[in-house]
Structure 1
Amino acid sequence: MSSRFGLKTPKMFIRTRYEKLPGGDSQSASPLFRSGTWSKGYRSPMWANRLQRPRMSFARIIMLLVVSILIVSMTVTGIVKQVRLKHHHKGDDRKLYHWEHYPRLRGLFNGVRTLVPHSDYVSEQNFVKYSQSANPEDNIKQRWPVMDKEHKEPPMDPIRFSPYPKFDSKDYLKTHEEVHTCYLDEDEKVELPDIYAYPGIPQNQTNPSFGSYEELGLNDKVCFDRFGRFGPYGYSYPREQGGFGLADKSEKNGADKIWSTEPKIDYTKVSWGKAQKRCYEKNKARFLKNVTQSDSEENHVQKKKVPRHAYILRTWTGYKYSEQQILTIRAMINELSLKSGGEYDVHFLLHVKDDSIPIWSSDEFYEKTIRDNLPEEFWGMATLWSEQQMRLYYPEPFPNNVYNHAKAPVHSVYRSAHFPLQWFSQVHPEYDFYWNWEMDLRLTGHYWEFNTKIGDWARRQPRKGMWERASRYYIPELHGSWKNFTDMVEEEMYNSDEKPVWGPPKFENTGMLESPPETEPPRTYLADNYQWGIGEDADLITFNPIFDPAKTNWVFRDDVSGYDLELPEPPRRCAIITVSRLSKRLLDLMHRETYLMRHHMFPEMWPPTVAFHHGLKAVYAPHAVYFDHNWPLESLDGTYNHPPKPTDSVFGWGEHNQLGNSFYYNAGFSSELWRRWLGGREYDQGGPIEEENGTGRLCLRPTLFHPVKHENLNI
């Protein structure tokens, strides 16, 4: 056997258990090119079949068979490990990307047993910096998390998390209409669930590289585990009680404490669409367009109108809803719509791929399509559309295309995902804002807090320097405060050859719609002291920077139709991933530009460009984005904000730089971190056993993930 496998039998047990290759540890290995799961059949060595049965007792035969099986098993394990390591490093034959040489960050995987109050928290990046410092004062900082190995439970208990205003307070009712409580059932006996967070952070958890909780007004002093976040929506309790029972193999120490105050709801009896409608009807006075007077005789302050939001999930026929995604959608409806007193409505905008289905001529087919393609609890929330319908609504021609890189028809969803959104806004004009939400997004935080705080932040932003700030990633560790970042962008603009954007841009054209008169600047750029725009709701909020595609080699930058080819291409803007919040004003302009002017661009360019052309307010929300490698700050800023040449842009050929973060169209780290948070095992790390024997389950601050293509957990 030894000669056959090239191993010396006496050393076999040492080699198979402890041998490591250089660079094979978690701190230096790339997360993007790890080995997959290997399985292969191996025959037993020939000598194992040559036992002289007449000379041995039955007990000795059994013992030899057991020993043989153990030896073969250990040998196969050793070979598999060698093959896996060889396969793992096979990718290293290529030239590594520069960021793959940076040390791995592992602090996001510290679990609930390492929780500390926010005042004691030291980020992983600062821990690394302090531990490498020669300054003795830095040693005062707490080192790697210390936990009590005798106790498996977290050192603190979860608490109810509610970010809403006190709707019943005198201060709120002075300026707002009364908010009536909503319920899950028609008899108003099933109260809405609450979610729970831990009032601390895992020690040395990684800090986001981009974005700021503090700047957006999000609570960064708490973290969410899977039980507190999804338990109240049926994650952990069994199916016979109306849940999903997904926590059978999960590390769950201390998780049951939420049930001391939280009831378990049978979700098999819930109709979310009906619950949304009842909630709106009870609270529709809050959303009337007409200003109402206070009922109090001594208080004549006019009551504020609360804007309404359509939260649109873009889905399609044949889409498979995982149980984890159903939990996510339940959270959306409960937190955005029902708990807020009807401020949001969640909709499914369902793409019917088969144009031959007569959904527009038959209510029966319409309802059957919904029932065949949505979980029952979400029936009554869907609006169907098809590409054939869009051909009729926005008929050809769309002339003078510059370059159709996708080689697809203009009405294909790939090139015109904005068509059904525009149409939806015309069919449902009752909303002030429309959230364009993709099915592969996930959020660890509270939906109402996340979305509403981002909208509030956007309202506070001035227009001066708006487009220039929106084109850059905000790196707090490098840029400092948002004011410092604003001043820096302003200085960079002054030192460049470019003019700042100030109102609708002027460019050569042979026909454009008139822009709204209120988008003309009230004063010159220099005379404005960051006043214009403050208090104005944003027409467009994106979750990645809004950049000028003409300066990059992004592949779809020239998918522009309807403009005069004899003139230079119109100036345009783009934000990768179509996820965004759009105002009714913007969608109306997009709609009119499409059907009146026959103007068209690739979906990720169209909303930002229309907002740009017509002088609307557009911002990039600096939400938290995490990286799995510890980039030097100057390299991070240089790569993402100041590439040396267009071909290096992270929006184009330089998109490999996005692979190791938590939010981009091709981000590889997003799925890994999300599934680890759910308790899965990724790349031979994490999972129930590791959580149980280590620091416990993950607990993350509010984080938006994209993309998450599946939730098949390897446990």
Structure 2
Amino acid sequence: MPILSRVRSLIPRQLLDTSRFAYVSLPSNDQSRNGSPTTYSRFKWHTGDRIRIGRMSVSRSVALAIAGLVFLLLFAVGGMRGMWRQKLMDEPPQPFFWELYDRLNGYYNGVSMLVPVSEHVVENQYNQSHPPTDWNMRVIKQPPINPVPYSPYPDFTSREYLKEHHSVETCYLDAPEKVPAPDVYAYPALPKIFPEPLFGSYEELGIRDDVCFDRFGRLGPYGYGYNESVPGALGVGDRSENAGSEQVFAKAGYTDYSNVDWGAAQKRCVEKNKARFAEKQPSGRKRVKRQAFVLRTWTGYKYNAYQMLSLRAMVNELSLKSGGEFDVHFLVHVKNNSIPIWADKALYQQTLEENVPREFWNLSTLWSEQQMLAYYPAPFPDNFANMAGSSIHGVYRSAHFPLQWFSQEHPEYDFVWNWEMDVRYSGHYYEFHTKVGEWAARQPRKGLWERSARFWIPNHHGDYANFTSFVEAEVQSKDVLENDAEKNGPVPVWGPARNFTNRGMLAPPSGTTPPTTYEEDKYTWGVGEEADLLTFNPIFDPSMTNWVFSWDVTGYNRTLPIPPRRAAIVTVGRLSKRLLSVMHEETWRMKHHMFPEMFPAAMSFHHGLKAAYIPHPIYFDRDWETGYMDQVFNYPKEIWSSPFGWGENNLLGSTFYYNAGFSGALWRRWLGMSENGEGGRKWEEEGSGRMCLRGVLHHPVKREDGPVD
């Protein structure tokens, strides 16, 4: 394409970071079968995200410069100047192609439309025809099905469990053991018309897909919907649409959280169940591995009432109800580097108490960039490209430093979850976090890197077994010229990626050398092996995209080609103690460093560790045609159209990505808030009631302050 034609085709809002722009939704459009729109209207869902200039890629910056030069030339030509200015003023911004697909409305169907899963109708028509239009219609006032306690835990008292494990002691919120850890409630049903996810699968992960959660059953046990006169009430939810919610409170009762010390409760729980986690177990017993669930927060963070509900849910469901399998930690970034938190216990405690709610004081650990500078001292030489323009010890470029330090300080944890404060989950935390780990352990290593580099679209690829075969066939058909280890790494990946010149790294850990050749393996190596890295977006090769931080690599010889590497957008995930130890050693001993979304994946890639992209359910607000979706997300025609570059606009309408506008909007609607003139109390009362969602991982949720009336 000639350069002038390319510049003309660049839409300004596509050039800039889309997370800064309003998320545009088309509530209705008359779309023909072949996808050509005849009319469309728009309203805006703001993500509330902060400006993230660092997301602009090198290619995008060059294109902006070229565009600027072209427009300067046009400015110099008087007649052309007026014509182009008028043209830009008269023509509205052109929609992205995906915005022309039909909108899926079944998410907003309420609890009065609940039916058994056998009667559920999938709303998606995959752009072959218009989705069903019978939505948000109140049938009866009360939910036709009652909520039930939802417990995804093993039967800790069963003969089968006790045959292989220690018994599990019940944990309580209080020391006298009078206040039990609460249950959550779900409806064993789905709204009559409801979409299905376009990426991933509940069934594949072993997560139930025949239940849904409304806000009262999910958050009510943690204080949502309490009348303000109830001790410990947070003051949210008591004025929303609530038909049938009394059934939850009749079963769950009301818990006064005003004096709960979650850290003390968690510590008591672990102490009661410590035999489960001991390294040496009696013959025939299995040790339960310990996991730290680390919440990355900072001084000055505002804990709103909805955030408090989610945090209580995490500690209760992951730690107390599981008999101590998880420990929840707040890793608090002290942004003021002049505060010597390591030198004065009183100052440390004062800083903590001023920045963390009392409930969570005893779950919290403070750290600062100044502390990391001492722990990983400079210099870190030979950076290929610092596109962020910031210090290597700044949290933006080294969010993994405190996580590595935390793991070194807490060797009792086999795994550490890195969790951001703008993530929400509408399902049960224990079910999700255990099932994704179990799924990854079942995966063979053969083809895992290649499968993890792609989005699995069940409607297009079939089940995961078929997807595995498809990827294997594709790998085998790769042209030998693409197998350039110096540039991209070996294809397929099989063991440590060591055959490139710019190494200077430590030896790989034991157990990472393949027992056979790739061709001889029968999908057996790695089965039953816990994954060292779990991500919730594909683990891609950044050299094949225009992702801006692809070259933020430090400590390698710049006279040689840059090492092959891998990355996964959004730093949410699970890292093993082994991986964190490798990262720690490579950092302090070898002075190696990469951008946070690249370093864990690249170290796993270099050292032959097991890494997996979890195919969790990701929903979209539009009825995509999945063949086209596969092309856009898995086979971009040009580097700059990758979803991890300029093509990231295609994820605006999803429930999980760094700039996903739909995620926050859907979460707020589920909470009962109004969004773009839809939702809120009156909408729900006159329609089919409050929403009921399956377990959905939402990211990012930048605000929870929408109007409810």
Q: Normalization by structure 1: what TM-score?
A: 0.85
Indicate yes or no: 2:98 matched with 1:105: no
- Taking the aligned partners of 2:257 and 2:614, their CA distance within structure 1 comes to 34
Name the residue aligned to 2:536: 543
Q: 1:508: which partner in 2?
A: 501
| Residue in structure 1 matched with residue 147 of structure 2 by the alignment | 158
Structure 1 portions without partners, runs of 5+: 1-22, 37-88, 133-141, 294-301
Assess if the C-alpha contact under 8 Å between 1:32 and 1:660 holds in 2. no
Q: Distance between the aligned counterparts of 1:369 and 1:91, measured in 2?
A: 55
> What residue is the counterpart of 2:423 in the other structure?
441
Match of residue 607, structure 2, among 600, 609, 614: 614
Mapping of residues 293-312 of structure 1, within 5 Å: 293=283, 302-312=284-294
Kept after mapping to 1: 8 A contact 2:138/2:687: no
Within 5 Å, which residues of 2 pair with 1:257-656? 257-293=247-283, 302-497=284-479, 498=483, 499-505=491-497, 506-509=499-502, 511-656=504-649
Find the aligned partners of 2:189 and 2:90 in 1 and give their Cα distance: 39
CA distance in 1, matches of 2:550, 2:92: 33
Deviation at 1:238, TM superposition (A): 2.3
Is the Cα–Cα contact under 8 Å of residues 561 and 601 in structure 1 kept in the other structure? Answer: yes
3-state DSSP class of the match of 2:193?
coil
| Contact residue 543 and residue 620 of structure 1 kept, 8 A | yes
Matches of 1:191 and 1:317 in 2, distance apart? 32
1:275-296 deviation digits (Å, cap 9, x = unpaired)? 0000000000000011224xxx
272-281 or 203-212, which moves further after superposition?
203-212
Per the TM alignment, residue 24 of structure 1 is displaced from its structure 2 partner at its CA by 7.5
Distance 1:620 1:229, change over 3 A: same
Structure-2 change in CA distance of 1:654 and 1:550 (3 Å): same
Q: How far off its partner does 1:25 sit? A: 4.8
Q: Does 1:711 align with 2:693?
A: no
Query: Which residue is equivalent to 1:209?
Result: 198
Distance 1:91 1:100, change over 3 A: farther
Match of residue 199 from structure 1:
188
Whether 1:172 aligns to 2:152 is: no
- State the one-letter code of the partner of 2:221: P
| Equivalent position SS for 1:673 | helix
Relative contact order higher in (CA < 8 Å, ≥ 6 apart): 2
Aligned in 2, Cα 1:599/1:25: closer, same or farther, shift over 3 Å? Answer: closer
Distance 1:202 1:94, change over 3 A: same
* Conservation of the 8 A alpha-carbon contact between 1:402 and 1:560: yes
CA distance in 2, matches of 1:566, 1:465: 32
For 2:163, the aligned partner's letter is: K
Work out the CA distance in 2 between the residues paired with 1:276 and 1:395: 34
Gaps of 5+ in 2: 1-24, 31-39, 48-87, 484-490
Q: Match for 1:711: what amino acid?
A: E
> Cα–Cα, structure 1 residues 131 and 630, in superposed 2: closer, same or farther, change >3 Å?
closer
1:235 deviates by 0.4
| Matches of 2:124 and 2:323, distance apart in 1 | 41
1:256 to 246, 253, 263: 246
Q: Which structure's CA Rg is the greater one?
A: 1
Please tell me the residue identity of whatever aligns with 1:561. Answer: T
Change (3 A) 1:148 1:407: closer
Amino acid at match of 2:567: C
**Do the aligned partners of residues 25 and 31 (structure 1) sit closer, same or farther apart at CA in structure 2, a change above 3 Å counting?**
closer
Deviation at 1:94, TM superposition (A): 1.9
Number of residue pairs the alignment of both structures matches: 623
Question: How far has the Cα of 1:630 moved from its partner?
Answer: 1.2
2:33 aligns with: none
Secondary structure at 1:269's aligned position in 2? coil
Contact 1:117–1:201 (Cα < 8 Å) also in 2: yes
Q: CA RMSD in A?
A: 1.9
The answer to whether the Cα contact below 8 Å between 1:336 and 1:343 also exists between their aligned partners in 2 is yes
Q: Secondary structure at the match of 2:235?
A: coil
CA distance in 2, matches of 1:147, 1:160: 27
Q: 1:569 to 1:192 in 2, by over 3 A?
A: same
TM-score by length of 2: 0.86
| CA drift at 1:263 | 2.0
d(CA) in 2 for partners of 1:123, 1:533: 36
Would you say the 8 A contact 2:43–2:676 is kept in 1?
Answer: no
* Post-superposition offset of 1:95: 2.3
Could you tell me how far 1:129 is from its partner in structure 2?
5.2
Task: Using the TM superposition, give the Cα deviation of residue 547 of structure 1 relative to its aligned residue in structure 2, in angstroms.
Answer: 0.0
State which drifts further: 273-282 or 283-292: 283-292
Distance 2:435 2:247 in 1: 29
Q: By how many angstroms is 1:143 displaced?
A: 8.0
1:463–1:580 distance in 2 versus 1, CA, 3 Å: same
